[in-house]
Chain A
């Protein structure tokens, strides 16, 4: 006799597992994005400010005593640091004294108001999104240093962190589903056998139920249920004869 499968119970359990992992994945990802983004943005702004201040301090002597090529050489070295996309130095009138832009200073920067001690977000067409930190040279009377950090790198770092998390959750999810299937099967199989046994008894096929009679020997709830069905079956009221004489 074929054992009945407990599909609905199985489906609901799997759905529960999916829902749980979905919730964990989405909620931790949101938290991760927020945490990594805030942390990196703060760190980048701090680094930019530190670098801008370093260049500003080093620029005083060069601006007052030396050729601007020395200043260009100085800022060229900073652009080699990962994350720094551009550096430019303006004098007190806003004229560009040295910069690292190719093929030229973007119009958006060229046309902006000269700033000496600010942090601004910039969207430069064809270049990307940047956090630009400005620091004054000689309290601003000799100009200002501006350092642009590519926020695309922050997005990339967030993507990498999310990617690693999705990878981990996927592995845990697969293991979880396999474990859930095994556990549900473990629980559902005796219930299915009890159900099959009950159906056979209900049909008056006590002998047909023999293949699953092992259920009666079980000590768990499924065994108790099967024994209860058998008890009801054996002590059921005699069936009322039908009026047309058929059994």
Chain B
């Protein structure tokens, strides 16, 4: 009898000790998944001078998710995006991620915007690696989420800044513009682009001709004349900007005003349509052309004007059909969305691939199976000219970089560098 009582007490203590652990495991397995919903978490800039990036990325993704939900969802589950505004600030991004992971208990993280934000979030993913929380398709081409020690916690769709800057440098050098200066944002994003330009120039036996920086969050109304003067003193043949649209537009404006009339290149993160809007809205056509004729922007998705591409046709159709709204609960400043943009096209492609991965998880999706589902993508047709493949050591889906210039009121594909800039 005494023996039985002791056994009961032991079992009770053991049960009491293990119950919270078992409960945590059970909750983890079900996090972000209900019978009717799969919840994805997104932290991005919906306020501040870079809000256009978060808004357009969200709108593009929403167009595809809306269509999936309209057609019954994934195994009967709707795809929901839980979104937070980080204003493109690292601390806010970290707080939002904690909220998404620990309070909202989302299934995965999706569509984060920016290098300084993502760079600070990555250690969190490593900290909670036992819960298999992955970051999918961040809107940044930086290296930290592509290489150890954090590369295993993220999956990228877009080409990297190393690839974008290498392409820009190679083309500029090819047309004889070897003295290349750099304007970059004074943070991890800017440094990432700076590293790319430096490495690409080194392959051509060149060094960065001059460099200048600006503070993250700089508005279009600010002056970037000091930066222009620093670069102008080195008499560069071209300038590569690694920044956000407000500051890069201010730089392009001040450069032209101060007579620095050389090609000014921007990487995809800049947000081409937002940049163009700042340089052209409210100006005479001649003025607009003066400020934009020397711009050349690299893109990681094809032109949304190229309707020969199936994914572009689908994107245009769904953007028109669902016309995703600006998230009013987060966007308090005025913002006029674009019908089409490179950023929303990227968000659309991100969402399309995300849905395919979720489908491959089957009827009982679990975080632990996410990596297997991603690695099963081999030569997957996303509707682009390039097929998508993932695998061990290959955590970036697309490699292609496109180049665009301003023609009238839009960016179009650049076909001939010599003709445009010689």
- A104 vs B147: C-alpha distance when bound (angstroms): 29
B163 neighbours in A (Cβ, 8 Å): none
Q: Does B211 contact A (CB under 8 A)?
A: yes
Does A76 contact B188, Cβ atoms closer than 8 Å?
Answer: yes
Q: Is B363 an interface residue (CB 8 A)?
A: no
A132 to chain B, nearest CB (A): 18
Does A149 make an interface contact (CB < 8 A)? no
Of B195, B226, B227, the most chain A CB neighbours within 10 A belong to B195
**With a CB–CB cut-off of 8 A, which chain B residues contact A100?**
186
Interchain CB contact under 8 A, B147 and A73: no
Minimum Cβ distance to chain A for residue B373 (Å): 28
Q: Mark B194-225, 1 if CB is under 8 A from A, else 0.
A: 11000000000000000111110000000010
Bound Cα distance A71, B116 (Å)? 11
Q: Kindly state the separation between the CA atoms of A65 and B211 in the bound complex, as whole angstroms.
A: 25
CB-CB under 8 A for A104 and B211, given A68-B191, A69-B115: yes
Question: B residues within 8 A CB of A103?
Answer: 212-214, 224, 226-227, 230
**Residue B148 CB within 8 A of the other chain:** yes
Q: Contacts A67-B143, A69-B192, A71-B191 given: A104-B213 contact, CB under 8 Å? A: yes
Does B189 touch A at the CB level, under 8 Å?
yes
CB B185 to nearest CB in A, in angstroms, measures 10
CB of B166 to closest CB in A, whole Å: 14
* Least distance between B409 CB and chain A CB atoms (Å): 31
Provided the pairs A68-B195, A70-B119 are in contact, do residues A104 and B144 lie with their beta carbons within 8 angstroms?
Answer: no
- The proximity string for A residues 50-94 relative to B, scoring 1 for CB distances below 8 Å and 0 otherwise, is 000000000000000111111111001000000000000000000
Over the window 151-178 of chain A, the binary record of Cβ atoms lying under 8 Å from chain B Cβ atoms (1 yes, 0 no) is 0000000000000000000000000000
Q: Which of A67, A70, A71, A102 contacts B213 (CB 8 A)?
A: A102
Q: How far is the CB of B272 from chain A (nearest CB, A)?
A: 22
B148: A residues at CB distance < 8 A: 65-66
For B214, what are the chain A residues with a Cβ–Cβ distance below 8 Å?
102-103
A101 within 8 A of B: yes
CB of B187 within 8 Å of the partner chain? yes
Indicate whether A115 reaches chain B with its CB closer than 8 angstroms.
Answer: no
Q: Which residues of chain B come closer than 8 Å to A101, judged between CB atoms?
A: 186, 213
- Which residues of chain B are within 8 angstroms of A70 by Cβ–Cβ distance? 119, 143-144, 188
Query: Is B142 interfacial (CB 8 A cutoff)?
Result: yes
Interface membership of chain B positions 115-129, coded 1 if the CB is closer than 8 angstroms to chain A and 0 otherwise: 110011000000000
Q: Find B142's partner among A65, A67, A71, A76 (CB 8 Å cutoff).
A: A67
Cross-chain contact B116 with A67 (CB below 8 angstroms): no
A64 to B174, CA, bound (A): 32
Let me know if A209 is at the binding interface, CB within 8 A. no
Contacts of B119 in A (CB 8 A): 69-70, 73
Quick check: is A98 within 8 A (CB to CB) of the other chain? yes
B207's nearest neighbour on chain A, judged by CB, is: A95
Q: Considering the chains assembled together, what is the distance between the CA atoms of A101 and B215 in angstroms?
A: 9
Inter-chain CA distance A69–B190, complex, in Å, is 8
Given contacts A71-B191, A101-B213, A102-B215, contact A66 B116 (CB under 8 A): no
In the assembled complex, how far is the CB of residue A164 from the closest CB belonging to chain B, in whole angstroms? 33
| Size category of the binding interface on chain B | 20 to 34
The answer to whether A73 touches B120 (Cβ under 8 A) is yes
CA distance A100 to B190 in the complex (A): 11
Q: How far is the CA of A232 from the CA of B148 in the complex (A)?
A: 110
The answer on a CB contact under 8 Å between B191 and A98 is yes
Q: A67-B195, A68-B195, A101-B186 are in contact. Are A73 and B215 (CB under 8 A)?
A: no
- Across the interface, B189 reaches (CB within 8 A) one of A69, A71, A98, namely A69
Residues 15-54 of A at the B interface (beta carbon under 8 Å): none
Shortest Cβ distance from A110 into chain B, in angstroms? Answer: 11
Distance A109 CA – B119 CA, assembled complex (angstroms): 28
Contacts of A72 in B (CB 8 A): 187-188, 190-192
Interfacial chain B residues near A65, Cβ < 8 Å: 148
| Pairwise interchain contact A67-B211, C-beta atoms closer than 8 A | no
Tell me, in angstroms, the Cα distance from A73 to B191 when the chains sit together.
9
| B213 & A73 in contact (Cβ 8 Å cutoff) | no
CB pair B144 A67 closer than 8 Å? yes
CB <8 Å contact, B187 and A67: no
Alpha-carbon separation in the docked complex, A37 to B327 (Å): 53
What are the residues of chain B within 8 A of A76 when measuring CB–CB?
A: 116, 186-188
Min C-beta distance of A81 to chain B, whole Å: 14
In the assembly, what is the distance between CA of A101 and CA of B115, in Å?
Answer: 19
CB pair A69–B191 under 8 Å, yes or no, is yes
Distance of B189 from chain A, by nearest CB (Å): 7
A103 to chain B, nearest CB (A): 5
Chain B residue with Cβ nearest A66 = B147
CB pair A69 B143 closer than 8 Å = yes
Which of A70, A73, A76 has the most chain B CB within a 10 Å cutoff?
A73
Kindly state the separation between the CA atoms of A100 and B213 in the bound complex, as whole angstroms.
Answer: 9
Query: Which of A66, A70, A72 gathers the greatest number of chain B CB atoms within 10 Å?
Result: A72
B246 to chain A, nearest CB (A): 15
A-B residue pairs in contact (CB < 8 Å), sample of 10: A67-B195, A69-B115, A70-B144, A72-B192, A102-B213, A103-B212, A103-B224, A103-B230, A104-B211, A104-B212
Pick the 9 closest A-B CB pairs, nearest first: A67-B143, A72-B191, A69-B192, A73-B188, A69-B188, A103-B226, A73-B119, A69-B191, A103-B227
Given contacts A70-B119, A72-B187, A73-B144, 16 further A-B contacts (CB under 8 A): A66-B143, A66-B148, A67-B192, A68-B194, A69-B189, A73-B119, A73-B188, A76-B188, A100-B186, A101-B186, A101-B213, A102-B186, A102-B214, A103-B226, A104-B211, A104-B230
